[in-house]
Structure 1
Amino acid sequence: DTPGILVDMAQGKCALCPLGGAGDEMGGYKGFGWACVVELLSTAFQSGPYGKAVSGVDQKTGGPCPMPLGHFFLAIDIEALVGLDTFKKNSG
């Protein structure tokens, strides 16, 4: 029931499961730190929207709305950390 889910999300009656699943028994803590890092890099550092603002649900009407997503790109000079041949061997 997609329309019903959108209304529930807009009213704060439900939420998406965090990265890794719901609760400790199902591994909910796994990836939480990574999810926080991704959230910070793609929102806070560029003053972008976060949380309910990127749910795709209009908070007033409960209907769908465009999601103003932020982006973050990171380039790593592998050879500044380890030799390229070693990296290729270690990473398969």
Structure 2
Amino acid sequence: ERRNFFVSLIRDELKIPVVVPDGAFYTMVDVREYGECLPIAEKLLEHKVITVPGIAFGEESRGFLRLSICNDEANLAEGVQRMKQGLNN
């Protein structure tokens, strides 16, 4: 299943916590170790990865990014690699 594939990629490649959704096509990843979610979202956009800063969903989601899992596995894997580059630069 695509959700499990994506969650495994995030955990294995990025080594960051991820909230596993119950049937949703979005997930939240914890990027607090990298700083505030809005600047991180902007940085990832430079790497052609579109995310939604968690703060858009309320204070309790500060430090998280919302990611869509509505794509095929190849594109999801490419997106995770781009995230890895963006987070490590």
TM-score, with structure 1 as normaliser: 0.31
Answer with 1 or 2: which has the greater Rg: 1
More helix by share: 2
Greater RCO, CA 8 A, separation 6+: 2
More strand by share: 2
